Structure 1
Amino acid sequence: MNVVDVLGVGFGPANLALAIALREDAPGVTAHFLEAQRTPRWQGGMLLDGSNIQNHPVRDLVTLRNPRSRYSFINYLFEQGRLIEHLNLPMEFPLRKEYAQYIDWVTRELADAATFDAPASDIALDAHDGEPVYVVTTRDGRRFAGRSLVVGTGRTPLVPAPFDALGSPRVVHLTRYLYRLADLPRPRRVAVIGGSQSGVEIVLDLARRFPGTEVVQYVRTHSLRLKDTSPFSEEGYFPEFTDYYYRASRAGKRTLDAYMRPTNYSSTDADVLHELYNLIYEQRLDGAQRVFVRGDSEVVAAEADADVVRLGLVNPHTGATREDEVDLVVLATGFRDLGPEPHQEPYPALLSGLADGLRFDDDGYLRITEDYGVCPVDPAAPPLFLNGLCESTHGIGDAGSFSLLSLRAGRIVDALRKHAARAVR
């Protein structure tokens, strides 16, 4: 069994950025990554026509860490012969489809650093020639070993109650949206649960894709909210805020979360909000409304059979109830963070075999160092890092966005080099 210095699980944007940083800044470090998909595609279930990344394109896989890197989005456009044409687009942010192609290009450029179609099923501590290593076993029984481990698998989709008990093909999380549409007949009525940007994008996509379909968006708040795009709020995506958030108490983190939440969660950019509002207005003008937004609506019951999903809803302010029957439910309900709350998970599921050796703080959160290392019970345990999974300790900049992705990769590389230097001494 070959042992590398750095073994990564997942080869999406987080670990792609790490692979580049290792190649550019630590060329003597051996690294290999395991990717579950045979042909990975970034956000493949949400590559909707016209949707953008809501993120400045320079906040890509590399530029904040190394503006001269050939793996930048700008260089990708240059190599594809589209740079001038792209710069002429009357858009604030790049199309999601184009960014997905950029991610695919980088993935192919670094394909020699990864094994694809290798879903990890178990992670364990073992010894190799007297040296402690992490051993990752894939679903087909292959084993890979590393002197350090970086888990960058992305966050677990949140399927909340009561939908978590259904297991119906007519209930789909947004990450599988386009894939599921391809498997189902044209829907008659669709419920979209959640008031996020993705939720509104899905409503608009359904309205364009199936003009005769009735689409109802259910949100727990009074109605849809505009995203906070103030440049002052956006400083929450600065590395200085990450350091500040990390040092805050748990109570302080909750306060900061409440302030920063509208910059990324349960809120929507003005362009798609306006498009949706205008669409509903015009449908009402025509006397043929087919798209609805139902605020103050909490789903408290759901059951499904082969053809329909029946929903029970309640207004949390008045107690009024209603029922709905649809043939497709799309959950725009986000993802689980790490933590002890019901909507969280204590640690990534892949680390269940190591859980007894991990340290937690007094509030029940996994102890993570400033450089994204997991704190082990045994200080002699080899380094273990979480890449893109640390919002509960590092704040909104770790929320699965590209904002600080390249800087985080650089910080993990620095930590790996320091550990290697200590090991040599």
Structure 2
Amino acid sequence: MHIKEHVDLLGVGIGPFNLGLAALLEEGTNLTCRFFDQQTSLRWHPGMLIDQTDLQVPFLADLVTFANPKSSFTFLNYLHEQERLYAFYFFKRFDIPRKEYNAYLQWAAAKLTSCQFGVRVDDVEYDETKKHYLVTCTNNQNETKFAVTCKHIVMGTGSVPLIPGSLKDTVSGEDLVHSSEYLQNSEELKRSKSITIVGSGQSAAEIFYELLEDQDQFGYELSWFTRSAGFFQMEEGKLGLEMFSPEYVEYFHELPFSKRKEALPMLGGIRNGVQVKTLKNIYDLLYHRSIGLGHSPARIQAMSELDDIKRFDATTYELSFTQSQTESSFTHHSEKIVMATGYEPNVPKWFHKMKEDIIWESDTEFAVELDGRVQFKEPREANLFALTNVVHAHATSATNLQLAVQRNQRIINQVTGEETYPISRGNTFQQFF
């Protein structure tokens, strides 16, 4: 196969993490780089770009600011180039609309010459003799194949929608929708007589609120169930937010694997939950809608584990639940179901082919350095960095946009062999070590 070129670093997948890495590499180094994504364009959670929903982190957590606030790829420079800087100033908000964050990512991707869409990475092999990776690719537009060699590779393949167990096989695709595809299916959902949401995180809450707003217009029954103990808010206290700091990530990474696994559930209120303002909006709307009704305009129930879904009649499904505390069972009927049940790591097949060469901390969790380097039984000169499936090693930084910048700094410093982007110190008032 024709080897098209050799580069210093190749990124697989172009989401916010690899996009930020590409920006920092372009402005701060002379390395030759390529980033490939099989999608034809950058689409950041298109199914959840609901009107008036906001990013859960401040605008400073953009692609580059925490590494280089002088960069031309900052969100503020995006606003400047779009002639929206004054409008944002008058907006008086620290958070930003999710739709605008998506537009910002697309703007950055268009400016970066190293990013190429419509290219699928089919295979990655390590050449022990030449100390580099051979990456086999396909151009999705014309199905032509080519190869690229690289010194280092960054796996930024993100995550895929998770529907637990066999539930996805019991309901037709048009009746059961994952939250990741909500907007594309919202009009069809609202034409039904009943809609049920399963899940308890931010996505579930935003979908519930959007459907609650339109309930009067369409007249559907609306229900919301979760297996969680309640509909809890995300931790937004200032000392709590210090867990999203380089210092805490360093502390967490140094813990033994067993202690890291024990700590992850305790970070649930920091990493998961629903924004306070979203829960407030939901309650206020429920209160106003309940005036004169004599009952709640929607059914909301926690501690309810979804066990099964089966066809009830021509248009309706029967959902079977178990109440976790009383251990009692109950059923619920609905025409449409929205599964806001999260995501699971998208680990490509070519990575699994290296399984025997990798050090594993469990059956599914590989050992990874603080900078994202996958640990091999026989150390390699050519590094494989993982931005996917690293919660067990990186905790709060695994999926956080702001801390992704810090991890990208570490990747670049490792590849260049110098402190190209110094890591900020003294960020917290509390001590972890």
Relative to the length of structure 1, the TM-score reads 0.88
Cα 1:416–1:80 change in 2 (3 A) is same
| Contact 2:197–2:340 (CA under 8 A) maintained in structure 1 | yes
1:332 pairs with 2:337:
no
| Contact 1:7–1:149 (CA under 8 A) maintained in structure 2 | yes
Cα 1:283–1:46 change in 2 (3 A) is same
Following superposition, the deviation at residue 241 of structure 1 comes to 0.6
Q: How does 1:158-169 map to 2 (within 5 A)?
A: 158-166=162-170, 168-169=172-173
Share of identical aligned residues, percent?
A: 26
Q: Which amino acid aligns with 1:12?
A: G
Following superposition, the deviation at residue 391 of structure 1 comes to 1.6
1:41 pairs with 2:48:
no
Following superposition, the deviation at residue 262 of structure 1 comes to 0.6
Return the alpha-carbon distance in structure 2 between the equivalents of residues 261 and 172 of structure 1: 25
Q: How does 1:8-407 map to 2 (within 5 A)?
A: 8-27=11-30, 29-110=31-112, 112-126=113-127, 130-138=130-138, 140=143, 142-145=145-148, 146-166=150-170, 168-169=172-173, 170-181=175-186, 186-211=191-216, 212-265=219-272, 267-287=273-293, 289-304=296-311, 307-336=315-344, 348-361=348-361, 365-380=365-380, 382-387=382-387, 389-399=389-399, 401-407=400-406
In structure 2, the residue matched to 1:412 is: 411
What per-residue deviation string (whole Å, max 9, x for no partner) do you get for residues 2-39 of structure 1? 22111111111100111011112212x11111112112
Cα 1:350–1:303 change in 2 (3 A) is farther
Following superposition, the deviation at residue 244 of structure 1 comes to 0.4
Following superposition, the deviation at residue 52 of structure 1 comes to 0.3
Q: Which amino acid aligns with 2:306?
A: V
Return the alpha-carbon distance in structure 2 between the equivalents of residues 122 and 141 of structure 1: 15
| Contact 1:213–1:290 (CA under 8 A) maintained in structure 2 | no
Return the alpha-carbon distance in structure 2 between the equivalents of residues 349 and 310 of structure 1: 36
| Contact 1:162–1:299 (CA under 8 A) maintained in structure 2 | no
Cα 1:50–1:114 change in 2 (3 A) is same
In structure 2, the residue matched to 1:340 is: none
Say which SS state the counterpart of residue 185 (structure 2) adopts.
Answer: helix
Return the alpha-carbon distance in structure 2 between the equivalents of residues 293 and 224 of structure 1: 9
Say which SS state the counterpart of residue 395 (structure 1) adopts.
Answer: helix
Relative to the length of structure 2, the TM-score reads 0.87
Cα 1:362–1:41 change in 2 (3 A) is closer
Return the alpha-carbon distance in structure 2 between the equivalents of residues 213 and 121 of structure 1: 45
Say which SS state the counterpart of residue 242 (structure 2) adopts.
Answer: helix
Following superposition, the deviation at residue 144 of structure 1 comes to 3.3
60-69 vs 211-220, which deviates more? 211-220
What per-residue deviation string (whole Å, max 9, x for no partner) do you get for residues 43-83 of structure 1? 21100011000111111100000010010011111111111
What per-residue deviation string (whole Å, max 9, x for no partner) do you get for residues 211-254 of structure 1? 32222110113431121111111111101111000001223223
More strand by share: 2
Alignment length (residue pairs): 406
Following superposition, the deviation at residue 164 of structure 1 comes to 4.1
**Structure 2, unaligned stretches of length 5 or more?**
419-433
Say which SS state the counterpart of residue 120 (structure 1) adopts.
Answer: strand
Cα 1:148–1:308 change in 2 (3 A) is farther
Alignment RMSD? 2.4
Return the alpha-carbon distance in structure 1 between the equivalents of residues 280 and 193 of structure 2: 25
Following superposition, the deviation at residue 348 of structure 1 comes to 4.9
What per-residue deviation string (whole Å, max 9, x for no partner) do you get for residues 155-175 of structure 1? 233221242443631222211
Q: Which amino acid aligns with 2:68?
A: N
**Structure 1, unaligned stretches of length 5 or more?**
338-344, 420-425
Q: Which amino acid aligns with 2:116?
A: T
What per-residue deviation string (whole Å, max 9, x for no partner) do you get for residues 184-224 of structure 1? 67232111111111111010112234532222110113431
Return the alpha-carbon distance in structure 1 between the equivalents of residues 314 and 46 of structure 2: 26
Following superposition, the deviation at residue 306 of structure 1 comes to 7.7
Cα 1:412–1:193 change in 2 (3 A) is same
In structure 2, the residue matched to 1:422 is: none
Return the alpha-carbon distance in structure 1 between the equivalents of residues 124 and 335 of structure 2: 39
Following superposition, the deviation at residue 122 of structure 1 comes to 3.1
Return the alpha-carbon distance in structure 2 between the equivalents of residues 306 and 137 of structure 1: 45
Return the alpha-carbon distance in structure 2 between the equivalents of residues 193 and 353 of structure 1: 35
1:5 pairs with 2:11:
no
Cα 1:414–1:327 change in 2 (3 A) is same
Say which SS state the counterpart of residue 382 (structure 2) adopts.
Answer: coil
Say which SS state the counterpart of residue 224 (structure 2) adopts.
Answer: strand
| Structure 1 moving runs of 4+ over 6 Å | none
Cα 1:186–1:143 change in 2 (3 A) is farther
Say which SS state the counterpart of residue 142 (structure 1) adopts.
Answer: strand
